[in-house]
Amino acid sequence: MSESNVKFTRDEALDFHSRGRPGKIEIIASKPMATQRDLSLAYSPGVAVPVEAIAEDPSRAYELTAKGNLVAVISNGTAILGLGNLGALASKPVMEGKAVLFKRFADVDSIDLEVDTTDAQRFIDAVSLLGPSFGGINLEDIAAPECFVIEAALKEKMNIPVFHDDQHGTAIITAAGLINACHLTGRTLKDIRVVVNGAGAAAIACTELIKAMGVPHNNVIMCDRSGPLYPGRENMDQFKSAHAVPTDARSLAEALVGADVFLGLSAARAVSGDMVKAMAPQPIIFAMANPDPEITPPEAKAARPDAIVATGRSDYPNQVNNVLGFPFIFRGALDVRATGINEEMKIAAANALAELAREAVPEEVAAAYGGMTHHFGPDYIIPAPFDPRLIEIVPAAVAKAAMDSGVAQKPIADMAKYRAELRARLNPTSSVLSLAYEAAKANPKRVLFAEGEEENVLRAAIAFREGGYGTPVLVGREEVYDKLSELGVEDPQSYEVLNSRNSPLVGRAVDFIYAKHQRHGLLRRAAERMVNQDRNTFAAAMLALGEGDAMITGTTRPFSQSLSQVRWVIDDENGPTPFGIHVIASRGQTVLIADTAVTERPTAEQYAAIAIRAAAFARRMGQEPRVAFVSYTTFGNPPGRHIAELRDAVKLLDTLQTDFEYEGEMGPDVALNHEAQEKYYPFSRLTGPANILVMPGLQSANISAKLIKALGGEVALGPYLMGMSLPVQIAPMTASSSDLVTLAVLASGGVDAIRRAPDRKG
């Protein structure tokens, strides 16, 4: 197990919070506030109209205000992490943090509210009046036993979900981790002996949930600061007494002798190495106190190398932290307008998380955690919060459970559509691409991964196969199998691997290349060498010979080099020169940019051909194409060089039978702004903002795409290569495994697109 691998000083933590705008949160208007008209709509007098509409029908607040996507994170600061009662104001950094995590992980808008009282009734009175403002209430870091009374009263009084996350969020994640730790160590919940340290909000809720899931009451010893809870002990309130069990143990150390599981929800350093030494073989140790666990993983592992260890922190393996739950649980609850978050929804979330951890892991997750290898095992029993699949899987499970248990006021009619919307929520490109993904699933193809020895290529191949998008064929040597097992694949031999040194197909590949180039000076021996030694040549020959339907390469050499190797084997399509498209997605808008990959200065014919093909590509992704030929000039003003080809391309398209809108030349400010088009250039034929920008040359296209990605942090996928006679995609060397999966999906969709490609028109 690795040491904690995120290190920072106290100064760095203070600097992080104080730098620039103090704190971690700001509010951004979701409507334009630019003009007098905007203001009169947003505020008086326009705002009176929604006011009256809501007064007449309160449910309209969900469509006319932010309520339905807004959650308050509310605390009085009586149990801030494991730091104790430090007051409402001091809890604000945690509550701000939680609010931004809601946004980051599940696109739930959230605001922190710190309520300055330790009196439960005053707290209840303050919060219970806030119902109109929010779609849900997340109570946080409120100490037991007041938290139980507060939550029960607010649930009773309010008709929106009220959820004390330290109780139920923690319980859900703990249950998910425990299910998997038991799975790995061959235990069942009904047989395990558990010691819980802490008898507060988190500890009691975790214990109740695992008991509801099958752990027998008498198998759980709960301890507080005074040690184990047993019938007749002093200093127990009703919430603690409910978990008192007969036991001779009078200390945590005694309770731990022979125990299978330790759940720590207490305070830093409450457990020693000697204590865990006495636990059963392969002990399960969840030391979840924050910010410092009851025992650190290195200490626990030193005492018990056979242990499965989890903490609440992101810098050790196995982060059992409620951040894995609350964003996604509220997402699901808000989306069905649930009246509450009930046991069924909690158990659905726990099972969804547990199941997800057992599936193969995408590369973003490894990247977000410093390249640590993740696959189901003792160091990976729970998904990591950066796992991009969480946003789809957990809310959908919660929403379904809400519907099945009758608390959904707005049930979801089409679950598949909802899941696609969830996927798109954090990544607008994925909504555009979801059609391509669905199409690939419906018609899976064999995709040759030319660089089958590369780790991120293998991750992509695994995800491609497990996603049901098709069959990966890996070009590489025998060691590919070992690498697959290192990545957690249980049956590596089930993957198809083509070795360019000893595959029975090598002879056919050599024949093919030799036949193609013998009259251009190529000797047979040279063809053999190329096939044996160059994976792109071999893979491209395999594609040409029908051994795969599509091919993907690019991560080990510059784009232009891969492209020329591939074009040496595979012909250009009988049409335009190949070209590249970047897909840029930003705040709900998706724009294609071309040619970002091949021709430095296209001719008018090439520009027109690029427009035609790019429009077809946009259609395939469900977009109605609107092409703008862009420049620094707009309709001849100012006059400039190098715009004649763009203007000629427009004229050329005018002479052809096209089925899409195009216009130009124009600046990108006009191209992307329909109001400006109407106002200043009423003759423009575009009926909306352009969604395809054909750029004046490779320089501007390529630079724009890369600049947008680098500066804006927008999603920029590409280049997607068009114009080859067979579906080949060349990824940029910087591609992540998710980018590769998307390109593979697009490439396999390209199989059919190429078969029915439009005739050359430009």
Ligand X SMILES: NC(=O)C1=CN([C@@H]2O[C@H](COP(=O)(O)OP(=O)(O)OC[C@H]3O[C@@H](n4cnc5c(N)ncnc54)[C@H](OP(=O)(O)O)[C@@H]3O)[C@@H](O)[C@H]2O)C=CC1
Task: List the catalytic residues.
Answer: 98
CB of 252 to ligand X, least distance (A): 7
- Residue 699 CB, nearest approach to ligand CC(=O)C(=O)O (Å): 49
Q: How far is the CB of 258 from ligand X (least distance, A)?
A: 20
The DSSP bridge partners found for residue 729 are 552
The answer to whether 191 is a known ligand-binding residue is: no
Proportion of the chain in helix, strand, coil states, percent, rounded to 5: 45, 15, 40
d(CA 762, CA 760): 6
Q: Binding site annotation covers 393?
A: no
Q: Draw the binding track, 221-250, toward ligand CC(=O)C(=O)O (x: CB under 6 A; -: no contact).
A: ------------------------------
Question: Would you say 143 or 368 has its CB closer to ligand X?
Answer: 143
User: Looking at beta carbons only, is 68 or 82 nearer to ligand X?
Assistant: 82
Q: How far apart are CA 202 and CA 199, in angstroms?
A: 8
Residue 163 or 469: which CB sits closer to ligand X? 163
**Measured from the CB atom, is 197 or 537 closer to ligand X?**
197
The residue whose Cβ lies closest to ligand X is: 200
Let me know: does 250 contact 228? Beta carbons within 8 Å.
Answer: yes
294 binds ligand CC(=O)C(=O)O (CB under 6 A): no
C-beta of residue 460 within 8 angstroms of C-beta of residue 740:
yes
Is there binding between residue 322 and ligand CC(=O)C(=O)O (CB under 6 A)?
yes
Indicate the residue among 167 and 631 with the shorter CB distance to Mg ion. Answer: 167
Measured in degrees and rounded to the nearest 5, phi and psi for residue 607 equal: -60, -45
Tokens standing for 433? 């691409």
Identify which of residues 169 and 476 has a Cβ nearer to ligand X in the complex.
169
C-alpha 271/C-alpha 252 separation (Å) is: 8
Asked if residues 607 and 664 have their Cβ atoms less than 8 Å apart, the reply is no
Q: Which does 408 bind (CB under 5 to 8 A by kind): Mg ion, ligand CC(=O)C(=O)O, ligand X, none?
A: none
- Asked if 278 contacts 254 with a C-beta cutoff of 8 angstroms, the reply is no
Count Cβ neighbours within 10 Å for each residue of 134-158 and write b for 16 or more, e otherwise: bbbbbbbbbbbbbbbbbbebbbeeb
Helix (H, G, I), strand (E, B) or coil at 318: coil
Q: Helices 343-357 & 201-212, crossing angle to 10 degrees?
A: 80
Between CA 482 and CA 485 the distance in angstroms is 5
Annotated binding residue 84: yes
25, 131, 224, 356, 408 from 68: Cα distances, Å: 20, 11, 39, 28, 13
Cβ nearer to ligand X, comparing 82 with 136 = 82
> 757 with 620: CB under 8 angstroms?
no
81 a known binding residue?
Answer: yes
Q: How far is the CB of 506 from ligand X (least distance, A)?
A: 55
Q: How far is CA 31 from CA 45, 246, 627, 690, in A?
A: 16, 61, 27, 21
Cβ proximity to ligand X, 243 vs 445, nearer residue: 243
Phi-psi region of 227 (alpha: psi -120 to 50; beta: other; left: phi over 0): left
Partner in contact with 365, chosen from Mg ion, ligand X, ligand CC(=O)C(=O)O, none, beta carbon below 5 to 8 Å by kind: none
Contact letters for ligand CC(=O)C(=O)O, residues 65-84 (x by CB under 6 A)? ----------------x---
As a whole number of angstroms, the distance between CA 510 and CA 581 comes to: 32
Nearest CA among 332, 327, 297 for reference residue 311: 297
Amino acid at 735: A
- Residues paired with 262 in a beta bridge: 195, 285
610 neighbors 579 (Cβ within 8 angstroms)? yes
CB of 170 to Mg ion, least distance (A): 8
Given ligand CC(=O)C(=O)O, Mg ion, ligand X, none, residue 551, with its beta carbon under 5 to 8 Å by kind, binds none
Q: How far apart are CA 98 and CA 115, in angstroms?
A: 16
Cα-only R_g, the chain: 30
| 43 CB-contact burial (10 Å; exposed 0-12 / middle 13-18 / buried 19+) | exposed
Q: How far is the CB of 593 from Mg ion (least distance, A)?
A: 44
Give kind and range of the element (H or E) at residue 390: helix 390-404
Site string for ligand CC(=O)C(=O)O, 612-641 (x = CB under 6 A): ------------------------------
Q: How far is the CB of 79 from ligand X (least distance, A)?
A: 3
Amino acid at 336: V
Smaller CB separation from ligand CC(=O)C(=O)O, 96 or 166: 166
Per the annotation, does 491 bind a ligand?
Answer: no
Binding-site partner at residue 223 among ligand X, ligand CC(=O)C(=O)O, Mg ion, none, CB < 5 to 8 Å by type: ligand X
Report the residue number, 320 or 473, with the smaller CB distance to ligand X.
Answer: 320
| C-alpha span between 34 and 631 (Å, rounded) | 27
Containing H/E element for 423? helix 415-425
**Cα four-point dihedral sign 351, 357, 363, 366:** positive
Tell me: is residue 197 an annotated ligand-binding position.
no
The binding track of 141-180 with respect to ligand CC(=O)C(=O)O, each residue x by CB under 6 A or -, is x------------------------x--------------
**Nearest distance in Å: CB 211, ligand CC(=O)C(=O)O:** 21
Closer by beta carbon to Mg ion, 112 or else 166: 166
Token digits for 338? Answer: 């649930």
Strands (DSSP E) contained in 690-743 are 692-694, 715-722, 728-730
Going by C-alpha positions, the residue among 161, 162, 159 that lies closest to residue 59 is 159
Is 334 marked as a binding-site residue? no
Helix H or strand E segment including 332: helix 326-335
| Interaction site with Mg ion (CB under 5 A) | 141, 166
| 156 annotated among ligand-binding-site residues | no
The listed partner (ligand CC(=O)C(=O)O, Mg ion, ligand X, none) that binds 162, CB under 5 to 8 Å by sort, is none
Residue choice 75, 138, 185, 321 for contact with ligand CC(=O)C(=O)O (CB under 6 A): 321
224 binds, among Mg ion, ligand X, ligand CC(=O)C(=O)O, none (CB under 5 to 8 A by kind): ligand X
x/- letters, 445..484, toward ligand CC(=O)C(=O)O (CB under 6 A): ----------------------------------------
265 contact choice in ligand CC(=O)C(=O)O, Mg ion, ligand X, none (CB below 5 to 8 Å, kind-dependent): ligand X
Alpha-carbon distance of 393 to 176, in angstroms, equals: 14
Q: Please, what is the minimum distance in Å from the beta carbon of residue 529 to ligand X?
A: 58
Distance CA 73, CA 84 (A): 18
Residues that bind ligand X (CB under 6 A): 79, 81-82, 143-144, 166, 170, 197-203, 223-225, 265-267, 270, 288-290, 312, 320-322
Interacting residue with ligand CC(=O)C(=O)O among 312, 452, 554, 732 (CB under 6 A)? 312
Partner whose binding site includes residue 542, from ligand X, Mg ion, ligand CC(=O)C(=O)O, none (CB under 5 to 8 Å by kind): none
* Residues engaged in binding ligand CC(=O)C(=O)O (CB under 6 A): 81, 141, 166, 290, 312, 321-322
Q: Which residues are annotated as a binding site?
A: 80-87, 140-141, 166, 290
Q: Which residues are annotated as a binding site for a divalent metal cation?
A: 140-141, 166, 290
Q: Which residues are annotated as a binding site for NADP(+)?
A: 80-87
